[in-house]
Structure 1
Amino acid sequence: MADFRVLAWKIARPMARLYWRVRRPLTAGVRAVVFDAEGRVLLVRHTYIGGWYLPGGGVERGETMLASLRRELDEEAGVLLHGAARLAGLYANFREFKSDHVALYVLDHGTYEQVPRQSPEIAEAGFFAVDALPEGISASTRRRIAEIAEGRAPDELW
């Protein structure tokens, strides 16, 4: 069975690369570092992938980055943005054979309200102290939080 999977991947991989280059040459996404009154950061755990991540997602056709941020925060965590979202950095993600670009925003306490929300794609959401992040947090998420918390210049790659 494992040999079949390897063979299937060897055949599918070039087709996947071609698809991403022809059909989706450039994709855009948004993520947010959302701080609460205690300086903790909001993380979400999806139902379809393991680990903890910053809330966010893909920018839809005809949608601005900020509109996408508002939609994704509301859908995933019930965060309703009322104030300014500060752009912290732009990142490139070249995994999965595509050219993905991610805009990272920061929301400080007082710029949003949070309302209870159930989402079929979110298994769990919660605020965590920057120095006590949960096990299973993605490496990219950990790096983004450290950049913001420590005031470091953003890396180019997600």
Structure 2
Amino acid sequence: MTQSRLRILIEPLVRRCLHFYWRFARGMTFGVRGLVMDGQGRVFLVKHSYVAGWHLPGGGVEVGETAREALCRELHEEGNIVVEGEPQLHGIFFNRHVSRRDHVAVYLVRSYRQDSKPEPNGEIVDCGFFDAAGLPEGTTRGTRRRIAEVLQGGPVSTDWAPTEGD
């Protein structure tokens, strides 16, 4: 069995176990994601080792941490990106596919510094900037929706990916 096939089979089980734990440890899960755009209009995406597809970088907001602090920490950890300006809140989304209590704040980041591309590690297996018109195969539905909302200026959904899981 290939590693990607194994990940597809195990991923839902791991996600359910984590959210079962979080149900008792936390009343609600709250995460952040950064839609980081470079001067050429390209978007920074990451590919995790533990979940399929390409995603906006981000993660959970820890106890005692603000959403902005979590965003800055996650962008640095996942992309070696240092936020220099003030990120703009794009929206807060209900991610019902992950859990009935999961919410994600998405920030638009245009002012940042990335001195070098990070090396692949145990969490991030690949990352990079991609043209929004040519996103890599496997870019998740929710990620595509957030990018389209920002770039095309259309209506902003309140659901992360209302028509299909992400």
Q: Same fold (TM over 0.5)?
A: yes
Distance 1:19 1:77, change over 3 A: closer
Q: Is contact 1:24-1:98 (8 Å) kept?
A: no
Q: Report SS of the residue matched to 2:70.
A: helix
Distance 1:87 1:16, change over 3 A: closer
Return the index of the structure with the highest Cα Rg: 1
Q: CA deviation at 1:58?
A: 0.5
Once the two structures are superposed, residues 107-146 of structure 1 have per-residue CA deviations (whole angstroms, 9 ceiling, x without a partner) of 11xx100033234211111111111111001111011111
Aligned equivalent of 2:42: 40
Distance 1:16 1:127, change over 3 A: closer
Q: Report SS of the residue matched to 1:127.
A: strand
Q: CA deviation at 1:93?
A: 1.3
| Partners of 1:23 and 1:107 in 2: CA distance | 31
Larger RCO of the pair (alpha carbons < 8 Å, separation 6+) = 1
> Is it true that 1:124 corresponds to 2:129 in the alignment?
no
Once the two structures are superposed, residues 3-54 of structure 1 have per-residue CA deviations (whole angstroms, 9 ceiling, x without a partner) of xxxxxx8xxx8x9887554433201100011111110000001111221000
Correspondence 1:126-145 to 2 at 5 A: 126-145=128-147
**Structure 1 unmatched runs, 5+:** 1-8
Q: CA deviation at 1:153?
A: 2.5
| Partners of 2:99 and 2:154 in 1: CA distance | 28
Correspondence 1:93-132 to 2 at 5 A: 93-108=95-110, 111-116=111-116, 117-118=118-119, 119-132=121-134
| Partners of 2:72 and 2:19 in 1: CA distance | 31
Query: How many residues in Structure 1 have an aligned counterpart in Structure 2?
Result: 144
Once the two structures are superposed, residues 85-125 of structure 1 have per-residue CA deviations (whole angstroms, 9 ceiling, x without a partner) of 000001111234440111100011xx100033234211111
Distance 1:64 1:17, change over 3 A: closer
Q: Is contact 1:44-1:55 (8 Å) kept?
A: yes
Q: Read off the aligned partner of 1:68 and give its amino acid letter.
A: A
Q: Read off the aligned partner of 1:44 and give its amino acid letter.
A: V
Q: Is contact 1:41-1:130 (8 Å) kept?
A: yes
- Under a length normalisation based on structure 1, what TM-score does the superposition of the two structures give? 0.83
Q: Report SS of the residue matched to 1:95.
A: coil
Root mean square deviation of aligned Cα = 2.0
**Structure 2 unmatched runs, 5+:** 1-12, 161-166
| Partners of 1:114 and 1:53 in 2: CA distance | 18
- Under a length normalisation based on structure 2, what TM-score does the superposition of the two structures give? 0.79
